[in-house]
């Protein structure tokens, strides 16, 4: 997964206790009638950060963004921008701009007029507007399209106009609601990198809403994984992938195998776990895990080894039958059916897979992994 290579600069203000958050959600709750969209949420985002809100639809991520833009007011709690409370400030007075999921390009205005809209509204003088518009058109490579109307553009071009319009006013904070949702896969991947470049070039803080975990992993400094109105985990892409704090996060980001069981003993920082699949697991015990409790062990498919020979370890090894093989070019995915009936996914890089005499369908194989490869989850 390319996200793991996402170390574009050393930038970790969240780890610095003295840094002041640029955006602070303090105990924010938002209710729509009986429905609680955001539930007592506290979250801090720092200046120049590329921050993603990730979660399934209806988890409250868009509501969070809309409260920041001023289209919704929190039911309780407060939102601070650069130390100032946003309570009661109408959208048109907030130093925040938003890029809408539908792009919301004004259909009656040309591309240039769309980009100039916010500048004229600000009372910027004519010449300066024209200059800024040219600059923005160049930035998104749409110079020849200035006189077009939005419906005369392709989806990708519209997306770039929307982006140019939302950054034209040089907001300190840009909110992006599923900015790439309407693009096809190839264009989406290209645009991800363009967005990252743009953010760095302009020195903006980006807060982006997405349901696409790969997109969030690629672009973000940090990700907040949301579920039903609360933030389940906040962390860098690496942290979230490697050390999910719940089954929900582990399951939402990437593929994962999950074994349910009971912790029998804790010994020297390692937990012994009894699973319902007929084998024992030994895994790194998080602080707080105690003997006798119910737990889950989560392990990524690429961390599971597939061998014909029984590995010399009693724990973290189980036998099964190859049920399905999917060849994906760079890697091969094995679905192995344990005798308990559970299907376990294991991926093997094709550069390491035996070319002669490869493992085939219905073969009996052994699956094994190291104690520090997976993670023990309490919920």
Nearer to another protein, 177 or 215 (CB): 177
Is 9 a binding residue for another protein by CB under 8 A? The answer is no
Is 122 a binding residue for another protein by CB under 8 A? The answer is yes
Pick the stretch among 102-110, 258-266, 339-347, 357-365 that binds another protein (CB under 8 A): 102-110
Pick the stretch among 99-107, 215-223, 232-240, 326-334 that binds another protein (CB under 8 A): 99-107
Nearer to another protein, 41 or 168 (CB): 168
Is 91 a binding residue for another protein by CB under 8 A? The answer is yes
Whole-angstrom Cα distance, residue 246 to residue 204?
Answer: 31
Judged by CB under 8 A, which of 11, 100, 323, 366 binds another protein?
100
Q: Which of residues 61-80 bind another protein (CB under 8 A)?
A: 69-71
**Stretch 25-64: interaction string toward another protein, x if CB under 8 A:** ----------------------------------------
Is 128 a binding residue for another protein by CB under 8 A? The answer is no
Judged by CB under 8 A, which of 104, 146, 258, 270 binds another protein?
104
Residue holding tokens 């009656």? 108
Nearer to another protein, 108 or 186 (CB): 108
Nearer to another protein, 169 or 211 (CB): 169
Nearer to another protein, 144 or 351 (CB): 144
For the chain, what is the HEC assignment? CHHHHCCCCCCCHHHCCCCCCCEEEEEEEEEECCEEEEEEEEEEECCCCEEEEECCCCCCHHHHHHHHHCCCCCCEEEEEECCEECCCCCHHHCCEEEECCCCCCCCCCCHHHHHHHHHHHCCCCHHHHHHHHHHHHHHCCCHHHCCCCHHHCCHHHHHHHHHHHHHHCCCCEEEEECCCCCCCHHHHHHHHHHHHHHHHHHCCEEEEEECCHHHHHHHCCEEEEEECCEEEEEECHHHHHHCCCCHHHHHHCCCCEEEEEEEEEEECCEEEEEECCCCEEEEECCCCCCCCCEEEEEECHHHCEEECCCCCCCCCEEEEEEEEEEECCCEEEEEEEECCCCEEEEEEECCCCCCCCCCCCCCEEEEECCCCCCEEECC
Judged by CB under 8 A, which of 62, 63, 97, 220 binds another protein?
97
Nearer to another protein, 148 or 337 (CB): 148
**Stretch 140-179: interaction string toward another protein, x if CB under 8 A:** ----xx--xx-xx----x-------xx--x----------
Judged by CB under 8 A, which of 28, 59, 86, 96 binds another protein?
96
Pick the stretch among 77-85, 114-122, 129-137, 204-212 that binds another protein (CB under 8 A): 114-122
Sorted by sequence, the CB contacts under 8 Å of residue 339 that are 6+ apart come out as 278, 319, 320
Contacts with another protein, residue ranges (CB under 8 A): 69-71, 90-92, 96-98, 100-102, 104, 106-108, 117-118, 121-122, 144-145, 148-149, 151-152, 157, 165-166, 169
């Amino acid at each position: 997964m390319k996200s793991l290579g996402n170390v574009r600069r050393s930038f970790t203000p969240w780890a610095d206790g003295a840094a002041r958050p640029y955006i602070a959600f303090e105990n924010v709750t938002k209710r729509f009638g009986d429905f609680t969209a955001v539930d007592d949420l506290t979250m801090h985002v720092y200046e120049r950060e590329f921050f993603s809100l990730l979660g399934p639809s209806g988890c409250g991520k868009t509501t969070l963004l809309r409260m920041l833009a001023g289209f919704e007011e929190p039911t309780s709690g407060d939102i601070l921008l650069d130390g100032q409370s946003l309570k009661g400030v109408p959208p048109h007075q907030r130093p925040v701009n938003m890029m809408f999921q539908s792009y919301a390009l004004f259909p009656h205005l040309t591309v240039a007029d769309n980009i100039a809209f916010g500048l004229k509204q600000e009372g910027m003088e004519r010449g300066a507007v024209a200059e800024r518009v040219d600059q923005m058109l160049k930035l998104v490579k749409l110079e020849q399209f200035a006189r077009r109307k939005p419906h005369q553009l392709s989806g990708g071009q519209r997306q770039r106009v929307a982006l140019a319009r939302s950054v034209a006013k040089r907001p300190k904070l840009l909110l992006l609601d599923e900015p790439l949702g309407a693009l096809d896969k190839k264009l989406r991947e290209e645009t991800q990198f363009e967005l990252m470049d743009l953010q760095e070039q302009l020195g903006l803080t980006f807060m982006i809403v997405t349901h696409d975990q790969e997109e969030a992993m690629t672009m973000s400094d940090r990700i907040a994984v949301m579920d039903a109105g609360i933030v389940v985990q906040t962390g860098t892409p690496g942290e979230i992938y490697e050390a999910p704090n719940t089954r929900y996060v582990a399951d939402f980001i990437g593929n994962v195998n999950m074994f349910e069981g009971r912790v029998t003993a804790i010994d020297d920082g390692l937990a012994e776990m009894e699973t319902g699949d007929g084998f024992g697991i030994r895994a790194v015990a998080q602080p707080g895990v105690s003997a006798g409790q119910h737990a889950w062990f989560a392990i990524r498919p690429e961390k599971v080894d597939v061998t014909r020979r029984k590995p010399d370890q009693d724990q973290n090894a189980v036998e099964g039958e190859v049920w399905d093989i999917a060849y994906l070019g760079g890697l091969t995915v094995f679905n192995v059916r344990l005798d308990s009936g559970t299907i376990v996914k294991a991926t093997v890089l094709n550069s390491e897979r035996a070319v002669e005499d490869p493992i085939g369908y219905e073969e009996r194989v052994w699956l094994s992994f190291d104690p520090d490869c997976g993670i023990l989850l309490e919920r």
